[in-house]
């Protein structure tokens, strides 16, 4: 049985929940609350995740922390068709490039700007806004003449970069300045199995 430690307002948690939903995997969700801008964790949780962050995934005896590692694992183990993480080396490496963007500019920019302005995190908002604009600029340039970041279909590259781009307005960005990103967000929302989160609307019924 898969267990996911997460928080509904966390974009990093959401990208894992999104892939779990798309792959139609059942799991137990365990909420990790926020306290004074930080995760409220105890010693038992720190034994699972010494960083004290979310998400953390437990699958039988395996414990994984960090959304990038979890997305990689779920796609590798549970996607028999290799749709979300192709087996071919060059395509897989291209996907890893976009996972780097998700963990760098999307994180230091889009995530942090939202966290400062919505949740009271400490940080340099000016730098976060600069990095956030860079993340959106890179995505815009890539998506201007293509539908997806890698290949001709959505992959974990798209899921990794999606949440904080879709939540960019909560960090002070006007997504109308990045129309290709806006179109990509709408395409992701039409993927079978898509779910929403606070700030990101679910599929239209």
Which CATH number is 119's domain given? Answer: 1.20.1050.10
Residues 98 and 183 grouped into a single domain: yes
Q: What is the pLDDT of residue 46?
A: 86
Query: Torsion angle of alpha carbons 94, 83, 196, 164, nearest 10°?
Result: 0
Residues 123 and 163 grouped into a single domain: yes
- Whole-model pTM above 0.85? yes
Residues 60 and 99 grouped into a single domain: no
- Report the CATH number at residue 15: 3.40.30.10
Residues 100 and 184 grouped into a single domain: yes
Residues 25 and 58 grouped into a single domain: yes
Orientation of helix 112-119 relative to helix 125-143, angle to 10°: 130
Q: What is the pLDDT of residue 27?
A: 97
Residues 96 and 177 grouped into a single domain: yes
Q: For 105-140, what is each residue's pLDDT tens digit?
A: 999 999 999 999 998 888 999 999 999 999 999 999
Asked if residue 200 belongs to a domain, the reply is no
Domain that holds residue 102: 89-189
Q: What is the pLDDT of residue 202?
A: 86
Residues 95 and 185 grouped into a single domain: yes
Asked if residue 203 belongs to a domain, the reply is no
Q: What is the pLDDT of residue 101?
A: 97
Q: What is the pLDDT of residue 113?
A: 97
Q: What is the pLDDT of residue 36?
A: 55
Residues 74 and 150 grouped into a single domain: no
**Total structural domains within the chain:** 2
Contact (CB, 8 A) for 190 and 148: no
Contact (CB, 8 A) for 53 and 37: no
Residues 108 and 172 grouped into a single domain: yes
Asked if residue 83 belongs to a domain, the reply is no
The low-confidence residues of the chain, meaning pLDDT below 50, are 205
Residues 103 and 182 grouped into a single domain: yes
Asked if residue 199 belongs to a domain, the reply is no
3-state SS, one letter per residue, for 69-88? HHHHHHHHHHCCCCCCCCCC
Q: What is the pLDDT of residue 34?
A: 60
Asked if residue 196 belongs to a domain, the reply is no
């Amino acid at each position: 049985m898969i267990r996911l430690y997460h928080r509904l307002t966390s974009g990093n948690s959401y990208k894992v929940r999104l892939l779990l939903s798309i792959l139609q995997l059942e799991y137990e969700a365990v909420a990790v609350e926020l306290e004074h801008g930080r995760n409220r964790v105890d010693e038992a949780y720190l034994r699972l995740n010494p960083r004290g962050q979310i998400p953390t995934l437990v699958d039988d005896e395996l414990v994984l922390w960090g959304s990038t590692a979890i997305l990689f694992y779920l796609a590798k183990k549970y996607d028999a068709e290799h749709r979300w993480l192709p087996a071919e080396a060059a395509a897989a490496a291209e996907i890893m490039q976009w996972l780097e963007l998700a963990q760098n500019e999307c994180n230091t920019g889009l995530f942090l700007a939202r966290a400062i302005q919505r949740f009271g995190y400490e940080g340099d908002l000016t730098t976060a806004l600069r990095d956030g604009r860079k993340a959106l600029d890179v995505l815009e340039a890539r998506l201007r003449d293509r539908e997806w970041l890698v290949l001709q279909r959505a992959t974990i590259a798209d899921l990794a970069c999606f949440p904080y781009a879709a939540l960019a307005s909560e960090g002070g960005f006007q997504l109308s300045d990045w129309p290709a990103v806006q179109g990509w967000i709408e395409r992701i929302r039409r993927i079978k199995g898509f779910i929403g989160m606070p700030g990101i609307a679910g599929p239209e019924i």
